[in-house]
Amino acid sequence: MHQSTDTAIGLNLLHANQAGADHNRAHFDEWGITCLNVMSSPGAGKTALLEKTLAALSPTLRIAVIEGDMTTELDADRLRQYGVPVIAINTGRSCHLDSRMVAGGIHTLAHEHNPAELDLVVVENVGNLVCPAEFEVGEHAKVALLSVTEGEDKPLKYPVMFREADVLLITKIDLAPYLDVNLAHIEANARQVNPHVTIIPVSAKTGEGLDVWYQWVTSTVRQPLPIAAVH
């Protein structure tokens, strides 16, 4: 009985979260904004990737960031240096962003900026390989990062993250020659879980692969539509 009750509670939470995610996505659709949900374990390089992305794409794409972290605005402050709107969300003890938290970020963003002037909203989720993949936030695509320092087996050990991803960035590939790791094995393990995932090896340090990532981002952005009020 206890197990059944826990299962029911979990299903109810996911159902309520999905309803909120659908509501968030409806706002993005009304505004013609594309939303990306960027997920990884702590230290895989999400913020470094976004720094490079903002530097390269913000001159031509109108980008805002919803930055999730448990307790600080350290990452948000790093991204604010690129002159784009950054809304920080501290989750406290929660290991992921959910649709309700992101809805608050959307309302703050819409209050401070005209959504009609945006093309892309990037949600940087809390560093965690498990929970973020189970809670949609209204995104149009999920972006997963896996650094070479984490090992080849992570797609098999944490399959939900990699199964849900539309694109997988294998990060810090500049370190691969110094590690007992094989990029081909990482890709094979990822495709065993998700045969259709787009895989892009990158290095934020050397710039290798970033042009391919930029092209992928640009290809996902939709044409802006007339603004609709947040309600």
Six-digit token pair at 195?
Answer: 């045969």
Tell me, what DSSP letter sits at residue 222? P
Share of the chain above pLDDT 90, in %: 84
What is the average pLDDT across 109-123?
94
Exposed, middle or buried by CB within 10 Å (0-12, 13-18, 19+), for 187? middle
pLDDT at 104 over 90: yes
What distance in Å separates the CA atoms of residue 67 and residue 101, rounded to the nearest whole number? 11
CB–CB of 227/191 below 8 Å? no
pLDDT interval class at 222 (50, 70, 90): confident
pTM of the entire structure? 0.89
What is the average pLDDT across 118-140?
95
- Please tell me the predicted confidence (pLDDT) of residue 1: 45
More confident residue, 1 or 208: 208
pLDDT interval class at 95 (50, 70, 90): confident
- Please tell me the predicted confidence (pLDDT) of residue 42: 95
pLDDT at 179 over 50: yes
- CATH class belonging to 23-220: alpha beta
| HEC sequence for 110-136 | HHHCCHHHCCEEEEECCCCCCHHHHCC
